[in-house]
Amino acid sequence: MGTTQITQLPVETLTEVAGFGTRAVHAGSSPDPRTGAVISPISLSTTFAQKSPAVPIGKYEYSRSSNPNRDEFEQAVASLEGGKYGLAFSSGSATTATILQSLSPGSHIISGADVYGGTHRYFTKVAQSHGLETSFTTDLLTDIPSLVKSTTRLIWVESPSNPTLSITDIRAVARLAKQYSIFLVVDNTFLSPYLQTPLALGADIVVHSVTKYINGHSDVVMGVAVLNDDEIYQKLVFLQNAIGAVPSAFDSWLAHRGLKTLHLRSRASSENAQKVAEVLTSNISTGKVLHVNYPGLEIHPNRQVVMQQHRDGLGGGMVSFRVVGGRRGAEAFCQSTKIFTLAESLGGVESLCELPALMTHAGIHASERIKSGVHDDLVRLSVGIEDGDDLVVDVQQALDRATGQANGVNR
């Protein structure tokens, strides 16, 4: 009996002809040529045999440099982001650090002020000590021309931002970046490639904390960068190997497994978040909520940009709001939920809540936090894929209890 040849539609072809869900399931995946296994085996070996010195049997030599599971994951994410190259790292922070390491000492960075606390920490506490300077602004489009210096090399954007869900017109910033010959990096963690593809909007590099929506099951810490430029890729792939902040084969396999259902999870969490944001907004008139941040609401100040940038105008799975009662009211809300778990991180199948001022953004000075809208009474929700009606009930009962406990407290 002859051996059946197993073939796979090339990733490039999938990128061109297939829909997102098809690429999510098949990009970077092919049946094992030896066993026919539909799901790739986990390649735990750290080293690979060679036929003669410096002549490996296959394409692999040492797993820090490359590994079958990592390669497959990188190919899959690149396909979904519409990029040529994907580079996986051991965390989202490691991804950020490696990109900044590619800049020469003395380089200047322009960043949105409302960014993940870990990103802000790296810019101000680590990159600065390596000779990099960062200017933060709450209005990139307006301020970029006045902030650009002869040494400016990179613009860093989060859209939606963490945690106030502000939206940046990526295409407009990309035009400015190209006008000044500056690279544009967009952190797409809050949306995932299902809802937004920054490379198509003009970004040079898109980054993710894979820990969040891409993996989606709160069991992997990992990051990824996707890009098209050959020269930037050569710099980053060298640093990926030289610095060695790479994910394990098992983590790569888990993240690739999670990626296959990204389109289903992203849409479900977005639809649930819309319901939660609407019930929170209805509580502004009852005196229990001060303000709601959610890109899916018609009242969002940049809703028109959302309609242009996000798939089907969906707002994503993240919501933040200011609760009546100040910090005490916010703490009471998070301690009163029954389905939402009080915990850091986001993007998993389960719903989470947290207080950025005390948790994810605690390392940022209070005056800077407040200037960016991160008040002590701000609650951030990562809305999961549970039944939406159950989440609405949970939010309402927690809100009722929290504002009742905080009644009479100055805010």
3-state SS assignment for residue 404: helix
Q: Count CB-CB contacts under 10 A for residue 405.
A: 17
The runs of H, that is alpha helices, within 323-408 are 326-334, 366-371, 388-405
Report the length, in residues, of the chain: 411
Active-site residue 23, yes or no? no
Residue 333 CB-density burial (10 A; 0-12 exposed, 13-18 middle, 19+ buried): buried
Name the 3-class secondary structure at 278. Answer: helix
The three-state secondary structure class of 316 is coil
One-letter amino acid for residue 182 of the chain: I
CA–CA–CA angle 295, 299, 301 (5° rounding): 70
51 in active site: no
260 is an active site residue: no
Cα-to-chain-centroid distance, residue 36: 34
> Which among 23, 70, 153, 212 is annotated as catalytic?
212
| Alpha carbons 255 and 206: distance in angstroms, whole number | 17
What region, left, alpha or beta, does residue 50 occupy, with left being phi > 0 and alpha being psi -120 to 50 degrees? beta
CB 374 within 8 A of CB 322: no
- Annotated catalytic residue within 114, 169, 187, 204: 187
**Is the CB of residue 104 less than 8 Å from the CB of residue 251?**
no
CB 26 within 8 A of CB 9: yes
Residues 380 and 319: their CA atoms lie apart, in Å, by 6
Active-site annotation holder among 23, 85, 114, 116: 116
**47: β partners:** 62
Q: Dihedral, CA atoms, 351, 320, 205, 314, nearest 10 degrees?
A: 80
Write out the two tokens for 351.
């719903």
Distance (Å, rounded) from C-alpha 54 to C-alpha 51? 8
Would you give the distance in Å from CA 159 to the centre of its chain? Answer: 9
Active site residue 212: yes
Active site residues per annotation: 64, 116, 187, 212
